[in-house]
Amino acid sequence: MENLSTLTGKYGDEGDQLLFKILNSGDYLKDVTVEDLNSGAQPTLRKVSEKGLRYDLTVPFARYVVMNRNELTFHSNASRFSQFWRADRPQKGRYREFYQCDADVVGTDSLVCEAEIILMIRRVFGQLNLRDYAIKLNNRKILTGIAESIGAAGNESSLCVAIDKLDKIGWEKVKEELLARILEQIRLKTEPSGQFGSKSNRKACFFEDFFGQSETGLQGVKELEDVFDLLKSMGEDLANVELDIMLARGLSYYTGAIFEVKVNHVSIGSVSGGGRYDNLTGGFGLPGVSGVGFSLEWIVFMMCWRNWDYFLPKISIAPRFFWCILMPKDLNMLWDCFRNYVQQVFRLRFTQT
At residue 210, φ and ψ (nearest 5 deg) are -65, -40
Q: Read out DSSP for 118-139?
A: HHHHHHHHHHTT--SEEEEEEE
290 bridge partner residues = 278
**Amino acid at the residue 147:** A
Note whether 172 and 289 are within 8 A (CB).
no
For the chain, the straight-line distance linking the first and the last C-alpha, in angstroms and rounded, comes to 27
Note whether 91 and 98 are within 8 A (CB).
no
Q: Which residues are annotated as a binding site for L-histidine?
A: 56-58, 86, 100, 104, 249, 253-254
For the chain, what is the radius of gyration of the CA atoms?
Answer: 22
Q: Which residues are annotated as a binding site?
A: 56-58, 86, 100, 104, 249, 253-254
At residue 71, φ and ψ (nearest 5 deg) are -95, -15
Note whether 306 and 330 are within 8 A (CB).
no
**What is the rounded CA–CA span in Å between residue 130 and residue 136?**
16
98 bridge partner residues = 84
**Amino acid at the residue 229:** D
At residue 87, φ and ψ (nearest 5 deg) are -80, 60
Query: Could you tell me which residues come within 8 angstroms of residue 353 by beta carbon, excluding any fewer than 6 positions away?
Result: 325, 326, 327
Q: How far is CA 297 from the centre of its chain?
A: 10
Q: Is 137 left (phi over 0), alpha (psi -120 to 50) or beta?
A: beta
